[in-house]
Amino acid sequence: MFTIEHEFDATVITLVDEGQPHLEEDVTIQGFEECVTIEQYDPRLDMVVKIVLSMTQVQDLAAALNLPEGVYRRVKKP
């Protein structure tokens, strides 16, 4: 299950892990104009861990989801 909320300066997506037997903590993804943040509570550390991706990294990730194993470089079209 997931939710999408549009706030003033970001789009917020929350991924909820439903299923058996072991469930992971919710993941919150916030899309800003200049970056995307991914947050998840880590119960071992008792804190929220945050990853910040540039928009280029997000585009690379999106492209990588549909590619086979290998090394790639996206080429910007003129």
Domain boundaries, the chain: 2-64
Across the range 7-18, mean pLDDT stands at: 90
- Name the band, by pLDDT with cuts 50, 70 and 90, for residue 64: confident
Q: How far is CA 30 from CA 3, 35, 44, 67, in A?
A: 12, 8, 23, 25
- Name the band, by pLDDT with cuts 50, 70 and 90, for residue 47: very high
70: Cα within 13 Å, side-chain hemisphere? 9
Across the range 48-71, mean pLDDT stands at: 90
Q: How far apart are CA 60 and CA 65, in angstroms?
A: 9
41: Cα within 13 Å, side-chain hemisphere? 10
Q: What percent of the chain has pLDDT over 70?
A: 100
Across the range 18-37, mean pLDDT stands at: 91
Q: How far apart are CA 8 and CA 16, in angstroms?
A: 23
- Name the band, by pLDDT with cuts 50, 70 and 90, for residue 36: very high
